[in-house]
Structure 1
Amino acid sequence: MATDTTPVDVGFRSERGPILVSLMLTTSLVALDATIISTAVFTIVGDLGGFSQFPWLFSIYLLTQAVSVPIYGKLADIFGRKPVMLLGIALFGVGSVLCGIAWSMPALIAFRAVQGLGAGAVQPMSMTIAGDIYTLAERAKAQGYLASVWGMSAVVGPTLGGVFSEYLSWRWIFFVNIPLCLLAAVMLIRNFDEKQIRTKRSIDYAGAGILAVGATLLILGLLEGGQAWAWSSPISLGIFAAGFVFLVVFVLVERRAAEPVLPLWVFTRRVLAASSLVSLLVGAIVLGLTTYVPTFTQGVLGTGALVAGFALATLTIGWPIAASQSGRVYLRFGFRVTATAGSLLVVAGTALTLSLSIESAVWQVAICCFVIGGGMGLVASPTLIAAQSSVDWSERGVVTSTNMFARSIGSAVGVALFGALVNARLGGADNPAQGDLAGALHLVFVAALGAAVVLVVAAAAMPKSASAPEVEDERADVRPPAVKE
């Protein structure tokens, strides 16, 4: 296992501050976009029409983001983080402009795909750059700052979406990204200077294309199964079969590729496989809860959208608080102990959701979410940092992107599983009674608890050797980044 052993010229701590601010700003693009559009859906539909098509505004974004992540990770290990991040910011900015001027629902859906391609670079590159410029002891706090962006966006996003839709125009939920993109790009260009060693490396175009098609079919089947078509329908079975065939072909191609876009060794090293499994489960639990906790708060407890949003926000508030402090824990006890403790907290939080009922108060929902968020901060960040610390600079991009790709797959699986449970219980009712809805969402909470139990097993599967005290507090970067004074 490669470890962080060679010092890197990263400058004084204050010199890295502007880079971290830039990373937080670029992360806010993705985080805000995930929440700001939710409160504007009905306004958009009222203007453009296409009510039956609006779920694709979310599906196509998640789809293009997920399938592009592994490709960006490999490109970052070849050409550097900076150009890939700038490409992602540019694509996200262009997609935002196009979404803002969209003239129909199909056009808006197509332009959301462009935004998703940009987000596919921004999120993993932010975490990869943070892993490059901060030492092992500092990475948890840096990841905590990045995670805090999601907490702030969970509160600010829906509010901004409502304000823009009601007082300006829904188009401003996209136009607001333009100055943010420009500012983030300028700050990154001015402050982050990578020292690159030019090496001749080939690009696995065939593998990238086959992976994109296979992953697209798999995620499409998961997102639309039980929604656009029945799970057992010929189109559903055909999509999954075709996706499986493409992924098998991808494995065969990657075994022969000189520079595979997604090296198969990321699935054979125990620390990387365990961290990816953890990330997959985190994606399933988090997206499932962020989808159905507001539904429970509004549909069962009878609150408004704003109160429901604040109840859910406690999850994304607890996460960065725990993540920022996780460094102290894993430096003393190791990655495996920290991740296992965090996953047990997630079990406790999801178990608490089973006690929620029609008579529950909103503060009880908030407490459940806060406990789950705290657990996530102790399991998600440390397992990612463990994976990053096990490789050098030339492999860190693909390792980080694989972790993010697993989370995207988990999100799609979570949406499919939880949606199937709700639909099966409600039988397709458009306006279910409070009691029926409460019963259906109870099944979601039971499934989340089951996923949390598996999360404990995945965290415990981290190798004992992947403990922070046994890893020196420096990096073995082949092409170290520098920071302009």
Structure 2
Amino acid sequence: MGQATGEYIDESRKSKRPFILAAIMLAMFMGAIEGTIVSTAMPAIVSELGGFSLYSWVFSGYLLMNAVTVLIYGKLSDIFGRKPILIFGIIIFLIGSVLCGFAGSMKELIIYRFIQGFGAGAVAPVASTIVGDIYEEHERGPVQGYLSSVWGISAVMGPVLGGILVQSISWRLVFWINIPLGLLSMAGLWFFLHENIEKKKRDIDYQGAVLLTLAISSIMLILVEGGVHLPWTSVQIIGMALFAALALILFVRQEKKTIEPMMPFEIWKDRSILIANIVSLTTGVMIIGISSFLPTFVQGVMGRSPTVAGFTLTAMSIGWPIASTIAGRLLMKIGFKATSVLGGFSLIVGSLVLVFMPQDAGPFAAGLGSFFVGVGMGLTSTSFIVLIQNTVSWERRGIATASNMFMRNLGTTVGAALLGGIMNMGLQGYLDKHNNSGERLTIDSANQLLNSEERAKLPDKAVEVLQEGLTQSLNNIYLIILLFAIVSLLLLFFLPKKDKTA
């Protein structure tokens, strides 16, 4: 086995940095546009494949594999180098994308999203780590901001392209559009990124990876099924909770005793990294709450088109890169803590807009709340990545960057399951109490609400009951998003006041 060592910064390789950065940005763009297009297309996918009760699993399955593998890829990139690990991840992601486009049922789509997520775990952490490798400390802030501009471009293109594909051709093309992007990215990495590999025997913590996967999977099953298909006090839920707790205990024990841990806990002893990682967890819940359920609100409650619903997410994805670019400059002027706290306040503003958004407010209000959340994410996430990469050495940079993204992915993974379960419980509870439309309405009746043609076939009273139930259940989700925004801001005040970037 080989271990990659050393920095990439030297005069002979500086000329290749723009090409490497372009390849990295293509890989990031592939993942970013996937998010906006799939969220926009989900109502159309559900209306064709059915299974609204499985809605959250389309996101949860993808995010589960992403969350678990991100640490593994981060560690492997410290051992074998960034290039082979990133290319491997892109290949698996493309295989999953092709299969998703051929899905014939919601269950098939979920399985293929697991494959897609398995590859996606390599893209963001390894790509961001390469930027930390090829750019010097004082350059990382602005460059990480430029990297975030990818989200803005994908935000503008994603909903438009997704809406056109869904309405004019087929939702299946939203997955296949990844293929040319991935191939171009791999070509750039293959020809321009060169690494030095030192021969050295290293151990890989497979046991830790398995235990972590089992723990997170059990927690997700509890959050998705608890209170919906299984009572909270059922033997199955209690059994899964005990199993998850045991797996977590064994994981911590394994990480403490192994020579090469999947999650080296010593990097968490730095207070800056600890707070950055915890806030990444809380903001991850916010991201998935908005990305997964805001289009449902705009289409199901407001009765707008998939394209309009997509543009409400565009607002978040535009606010994010704008704030990231600004953050790169703010870090050098006011420091990490002040920049992060500004982001925390923006998260609260955006959440408040969504909480107090009435049913007839229109998509502008939804987009405004989404935009402020995006600004908050841009300011905090850029600060965290630069702070972490400036804190650790090359040998720890891959796993340290991955640990931060793991916590955000864990937040989105748990958040998708938790919020999906809350929405299902809220909607089913409302329908059980208020359904007097003459039709038997269930959670899956929302499939018809998301399709304009099917909605027209429903009695007016049924549409009203479904919209009211969906509004109430989604408002509960927005309240939870606000709670996580408040927790995030409070934690940010505990960041130590470190020096500005050099």
Q: Normalised by the size of structure 1, how large is the TM-score?
A: 0.87
Other-structure match for 1:477: none
Other-structure match for 2:282: 281
**Alignment partner of 1:445 out of 465, 478, 499:** 478
Structure 1 residues 147, 237: CA separation in 2 closer, same or farther (over 3 Å shift)? farther
SS at match of 2:127: helix
Structure 1 residues 289, 40: CA separation in 2 closer, same or farther (over 3 Å shift)? closer
Other-structure match for 2:447: none
Q: CA deviation at 1:309?
A: 1.7
SS at match of 1:37: helix
Q: Which moved more, 1:144-153 or 1:282-291?
A: 144-153
Q: CA deviation at 1:374?
A: 1.3
Q: Does 1:180 align with 2:181?
A: yes
SS at match of 1:197: strand
Structure 1 residues 219, 393: CA separation in 2 closer, same or farther (over 3 Å shift)? farther
Other-structure match for 1:468: 500
Structure 1 residues 291, 45: CA separation in 2 closer, same or farther (over 3 Å shift)? closer
Poorly superposed stretches of 4+, deviation over 6 Å: 45-51
Other-structure match for 1:195: 196
Other-structure match for 1:385: 386
Q: CA deviation at 1:39?
A: 4.6
Q: Which moved more, 1:230-239 or 1:368-377?
A: 230-239
Structure 1 residues 411, 468: CA separation in 2 closer, same or farther (over 3 Å shift)? same
Q: CA deviation at 1:32?
A: 2.4
SS at match of 2:194: strand
Other-structure match for 2:244: 243
* CA deviation map 1:317-359 (0-9, x unaligned): 0110010111221112211111112101212222233332134
Q: Does 1:143 align with 2:175?
A: no
Aligned-partner Cα distance in 2 for 1:419–1:103: 23
Other-structure match for 1:356: 357
Question: Is the 1:221–1:240 contact (alpha carbons within 8 Å) kept by the matching residues of 2?
Answer: yes
Structure 1 residues 360, 176: CA separation in 2 closer, same or farther (over 3 Å shift)? closer
Aligned-partner Cα distance in 2 for 1:376–1:196: 35
Structure 1 residues 330, 248: CA separation in 2 closer, same or farther (over 3 Å shift)? same
Question: Is the 2:41–2:306 contact (alpha carbons within 8 Å) kept by the matching residues of 1?
Answer: no
Q: Which moved more, 1:413-422 or 1:444-453?
A: 413-422
Structure 1 residues 220, 101: CA separation in 2 closer, same or farther (over 3 Å shift)? same
Other-structure match for 2:346: 345
* CA deviation map 1:378-417 (0-9, x unaligned): 1111012211211011101111111111112211333344
Aligned-partner Cα distance in 2 for 1:57–1:362: 24
Q: CA deviation at 1:248?
A: 0.5
How many corresponding residue pairs? 465
- RMSD of the TM alignment (CA)? 2.8
Aligned partner of 1:202: which letter?
Answer: D
Question: Is the 2:7–2:134 contact (alpha carbons within 8 Å) kept by the matching residues of 1?
Answer: no
Aligned-partner Cα distance in 2 for 1:319–1:41: 22
SS at match of 1:194: coil
SS at match of 1:193: coil
* CA deviation map 1:97-134 (0-9, x unaligned): 33344566544433322211100111211111112222
Question: Is the 2:282–2:411 contact (alpha carbons within 8 Å) kept by the matching residues of 1?
Answer: yes
SS at match of 1:114: helix
Q: CA deviation at 1:250?
A: 1.2
Aligned-partner Cα distance in 2 for 1:322–1:340: 13
Question: Is the 1:278–1:383 contact (alpha carbons within 8 Å) kept by the matching residues of 2?
Answer: no
Q: Which moved more, 1:350-359 or 1:418-427?
A: 418-427
Sequence identity of aligned pairs in percent? 40
Aligned-partner Cα distance in 2 for 1:202–1:307: 50
Q: CA deviation at 1:7?
A: 9.4
Q: Normalised by the size of structure 2, how large is the TM-score?
A: 0.84
Other-structure match for 1:478: none
Segments of structure 1 that go 5 or more residues without pairing to the other structure are 474-485
